[in-house]
Structure 1
C-alpha cells in the first residue's frame, strides 16, 4: 500500500475531528486505506460504473491492499485485530470512494467472511477462510429471494431436503452481490424436516446452480448482482455450515452488518459533500464563485450537519459493539436514521451542481444514484423503524 501522509491530514467533512478518536496505529491503517483507494481504485470507478462491470484488476489491487480479512486472526495470513470504530471508518472510506466498490468488498469481507467465521465449524474455518482471506476465492451471501425481502425470515421458499450425507436444494435467490463470479456462495434454505433455516456452501459450477446477472440497474452498477436458480443442487453435509441452525443464527450476522451499511451511508454523504464543496469553490456564476451564494452555503451546511450528527451516532454505536452490549435496536436506528439523512444530503449536493449534477464526469451523480440502493438494502427504513418502535413502546406493529 502507498505510504500515508501526516496524521494531522483529515477529511474536510470531519468537522468535529472524529478521526482523532482512533489510536495512532488504527489511524495509520485508515490513512493508508484512504491513499490506496484514492490512487488505485478511484481512477477505475466511473468507467466501470458506466459499463456496469467489475474491473478485473480491482481484485488484484485489493489483494495487495492489506484490507481483506483485517481483524480476522488465526486463518491464513496474520491480521491485527481492529476495533469496531476502525472497521466502521474503513467502510465509510470505501463508500466515500464508491458505494459499489464498498458493497463488493462488504459482501466478501463482512457478510462472506463473517458467515464462515461465525457459522462454520473449526474444520470448516480452517478449510475455507485462508483462501477467502487471501482473496484467492470470492464469497457471496444468498439470502434474499425474488418474492421475499424483509419477510424472508418467515417466508423463505428455498428448501433443503436431506438424503443421507447430501442435501438437495431447490428454489431461487435475488439481488445476490458477487454471485455471478463468486467461488463460494452461502445459500440459505429452509430444512423441510424441521422447518429451520440452514446455510450451505455452494461452489461455483455445481450442477443445478445457475446465477444470471441482473441488468438495467440505476444504482450500484459495478456490483454484479445475480438472480440465482437452484434446481436439485446437491451439497454434502460437510459443506453445511454447522453453527447456523435457525434464523436467529442468521440474524446475528445481519445485526453486525446492518451497522456497516449505516457507515457506508455516511461515506456516500461525505463523498458527495466533498465533491459539491470543491465544485462550488471553482464554478463561477454572475462573476463570482457559487460558494459565495447564500442558498449554496445553506445546502452545504445542512449536509455537514447531517454528516456530523450521523458520525457521532455511529461512533457511539461502535463503542456499544466494542463493549459487548450491542442490540438489534441499536443498528436498526442507525441504519434508518443515517440512510435517511444520506438520501436528503446527496440530493442537496446534486442540486448545487445544477445541470452538471447529473453528469457522471462530476461524480456526484454516481453518489446520488447509489444512495437509493443503500436506502433500501439491509432492511428498509420502515422495517428498521418497526424494530425500534417495538423496543421503545413494548408493542409490536409488524403485520
Structure 2
C-alpha cells in the first residue's frame, strides 16, 4: 500500500478526524474567502476601512455563516465543529472578518436566540441570518472590561418603559449595527444586570467609530453612547438576570476564538515555511539551516496541539458536554500559542515580515487584540486555576 504523501501543514494527519461534510464546509468557506476577501484585505487593513461591509455581510449570510450553529429562524443549524472550522478559515484570512461573523452570530444572535422573547427572535434573527440586519453586543465599558459586574450603564423604569444611560467601548460592528444587545444594571429591585434589545435608530443611541487602531483595522470598532434611550417594556430579556446572560454569550464567542486564532497561526506558519524555501542566504535556502527548521518544527508542533484541542472541545460541544472552564482552557492556550507562532514566523521573514505584502504582521497585530478580548490571559488563567483548586482568586 502506497502511503499518502505527507502534508507539511498537517503533519499529524488531523484531516483524517474530519468527516467529508466538515471538509466540504471548510472548503466552501476557503473558496469564498480566496475570491471575495483575500485580494483586498491587506488594503482594507492599511486603510482601516472595509469596502462595502454591508454587502460583504450579506454575502456571508448567503453562504450560511451568520449564526450558522443556531437552529431555526433562518439559521443553518450546523455543528459546533463546522462552525469552528469556518472560524479557522475566516481568521486565516483576517481576524477582523472572523470578528464580524462571530460578533453577529455568537454574541448578538446567540443572545437573542437564547434569551430573547419569541417576538425578538422573529423580528431580528431571520434578518441577521441573511446579513440584512447587523448586530452588535454592548458589555465592555470604558472603565470596566474584565469586571463587568461593576458596569456603570444603568437601566431604570419610567412607567412601563425602560430608560438606558451609559456607554460601552470597543464594540465590534457598533456603528454599522441595526440592533444592539446592551447589558445594563437595573438595580437589585429589577434583577441587577439585564439584557436589552435596542434598535440602533432609537433616540439617544449613537455609535461613534473608534479610529487610530493598529490592530483589527479591517473591522468596525465603536463606542456605544446611551443618552436617555427609551425602550418599551418588552425590550428586556424576560428571564435572565445577573452575569449569567452575558457570560453565556461570551463562552460562545470564546469557542470561536479557540479555532479562529489557529487560522492566523496557520497562515503565518505556511507563509514562513514557503518563504524559507524560496529565500536564499549564504548560498542556500533559509529552510536548510538548522535554526530555521527548529523554528518551523516548534511552530508546527504547537499548531497541531492547538488543532487537536479545538477539535476535542468542538466534539464535546456537539455532545452537549462542553464546560465554560474548558473553553477558557482552549482560549488561553490557543491564542497564546498562535500569537507566538505569528511572532516567530515574522523573524523568519526578516524585514519582509513587517510588510503587508505578506500576511504575517497583519495577523500578529490582530492577535494582540484577540489576546485580550473575550477574556484576557490573566482572567482565563484564573478560571483554570479555580477549576483546579476550588479557590476563587479574581479579587
Coarse TM-score class (shorter-chain normalised): over 0.9
Could you say which residue in structure 2 is the equivalent of 1:34?
30
Corresponding residue number in structure 1 for 2:60: 62
TM-score, normalised via structure 2 length: 0.94
Give me the whole-angstrom Cα distance separating, in 1, the residues matched to 2:204 and 2:103. 23
Q: State the Cα distance separating 1:244 from its structure 2 match.
A: 2.9
Instruction: Check if 1:398 corresponds to 2:394.
Output: yes
2 CA distance for matches of 1:309 and 1:359? 29
Any idea what SS the aligned residue of 1:376 has?
coil
2:183 matched to which residue of 1?
188
Q: Deviations over 1:333-364 (max 9, x none)?
A: 11111111112111100000000111111111
- CA contact 1:266–1:342 (8 Å) conserved in 2: yes
* Secondary structure in structure 2 of the residue aligned to 1:326: coil
**Whole-Å Cα distance in 1 between the matches of residues 39 and 63 of structure 2?**
16
Larger mean CA deviation between 287-296 and 367-376 belongs to: 287-296
Contact 2:345 2:360 in 1 (8 A): yes
- State the distance in 2 between where 1:87 and 1:9 align: 28
Q: What is the SS of the residue equivalent to 1:168?
A: strand
Q: Contact 2:163–2:231 (CA<8 Å) still a contact in 1?
A: yes
Question: 1:282 and 2:278 equivalent?
Answer: yes
CA distance in 2, matches of 1:244, 1:38: 41
- Superposed CA RMSD: 1.8
Question: What does 1:28-107 correspond to in 2, within 5 Å?
Answer: 28-56=24-52, 57-76=55-74, 79=76, 81-107=77-103
Task: Indicate yes or no: 2:344 matched with 1:348.
Answer: yes
1:267 shift after superposition: 1.2
Runs (4+) off by over 6 Å: 8-11
Which whole-Å CA distance do the structure 1 matches of 2:13 and 2:66 have between them? 26
Asked if structure 2 preserves the Cα contact closer than 8 Å seen for 1:339 and 1:374, the reply is yes
1:239-318 to structure 2, matched below 5 A, reads 239-318=235-314
Is the 1:112–1:141 contact (alpha carbons within 8 Å) kept by the matching residues of 2? yes
Consecutive unaligned residues in structure 1, runs of 5 or more: 1-7
* Alpha-carbon offset, residue 385 of structure 1: 0.7
Mark the CA change 1:126 to 1:195 in structure 2 (over 3 Å): closer, same or farther. closer
**Secondary structure of the corresponding residue to residue 360 of structure 1:** coil
Specify whether residues 186 and 10 from structure 1 end up closer, same or farther in structure 2 by C-alpha distance, changes over 3 A only.
farther
- Matched with 1:231 is 227
SS in 2 for 1:206: coil
Matched, 1:197 2:199: no
The answer on whether the counterparts of 1:169 and 1:232 sit within 8 Å (CA) in structure 2 is yes
- Local SS of the residue matching 2:171: strand
For residues 218-266 of structure 1, give each alpha carbon's deviation from its aligned partner in whole angstroms, at most 9, with x where no partner exists. 1101111111221101111222223432211222222222121121111
8 Å CA contact 2:200, 2:206 repeated in 1: no
Contact 1:244 / 1:250 at 8 angstroms: preserved in 2? no
**Secondary structure at the residue paired with 2:259?**
helix
Distance 2:252 2:273 in 1: 33
Which deviations, in whole Å up to 9, do the C-alpha atoms of 1:185-217 show, x marking residues without a partner? 111101133351111122222211121111111
- Counterpart contact for 2:65–2:101, Cα < 8 Å: no
CA contact (8 A) 1:10 1:19 kept: no
Q: 2:151 aligns with which of 156, 165, 179?
A: 156
Kept in 1: contact 2:61–2:129 (CA 8 A): no
